[in-house]
Structures are given as structure tokens and as C-alpha cells.
Amino acid sequence: MTNSLYDIPVNRLDGTPSSLGDFKGKVVLVVNVASRCGLTPQYEGLQRLQERFGPERFTVVGFPCNQFLGQEPGTPEEIAQFCSTTYGVDFPLFEKIEVNGDGQHPIYALLTRVQDASGYSGDIRWNFEKFLLSSDGEVVARFEPQCEPEDERVVSAIEAELAKVS
């Protein structure tokens, strides 16, 4: 397994080969997302973060996941349509992946090693767990699923990382 999140191949939602390396030099908020979850309205806050900080070398990226009570059952086309029409999402979405277990995607194998502010590391607890990457691809913060995207802890961490980007 690679030690760099940038080097791990992953497809965009439309099937186009990609990687997080496409965002080298940007601060990135990585989120496992789902369309039929009680936390799904967090898409609104994620999109507002994209609009607020996107011009400043920042992006949100979403990884749909169906591992939590089947809350992301849709096809790539259905997911794209839902996110676009319901929440106006224009940040990048990647292929549906597994974030835990035997089929855990290598990106999440690296992300889940990182502790959140309470000291928790390990498996993703639910949809909408968030990881903040520095502009050089290092995980600098982890936020629990219930932490709203525009929570001061998230916004402050984004602003601190953006201040480091020249």
C-alpha cells in the first residue's frame, strides 16, 4: 500500500480515472456521503464551504458509501442527479466505495489511522465523517459525522490550512 493519499487511484462518479493527487496544492475536505441519511442535509453546508473557500485553493470531495444501513443505494447517475438537483452540489464526487471492513478502499485505510479531537481513530462511524487534508496531502484533522460542515472547528481548521498555502 502506498503511503500517499495522492497516489491512490480512484474513479470519479462518472467513471473517469482520477486520484486525490488532482488536488495537490489545495486544502481538501474528504467526506463519505449518502443520499438517504438523516445527515444528508449536510450537503448544504458542504456546498457552502465549497462556494466560500473554493476560490482560495480549497475543495470538498465526496465519496458515496452504502455501508451504513444501505443509505446510498443509487447508481452513479442517480447520485449525481440527486446531489445536483437537491443540494446544488458542484464539488467533485467519486465512485461509491467501502470505507470500512474487508473491502475498505485504500484511501480510507490511510484516513482512518488519524485521530479526531477526542482521540478516536479507526473505523468510520457513520456517513459524513470528515477529514481535512493540508495542501500537501497530509491529514490534519478529523471530524465526527454529527459535526456540521460549517461548525467553527471545521471552518477554523480550513482557514488555518489556507493561511499556510502561498
Catalytic machinery residues: 37
Radius of gyration of the chain (CA): 14
Over the range 9-31, which residues count as b (16 or more CB within 10 Å of their CB) and which as e?
ebebbeeeebbbeebeebbbbbb
9, 19 in Cβ contact below 8 A? Answer: yes
Distance, CA of 49 to CA of 96 (rounded, Å): 22
Nearest CA among 139, 82, 80, 134 for reference residue 108: 139
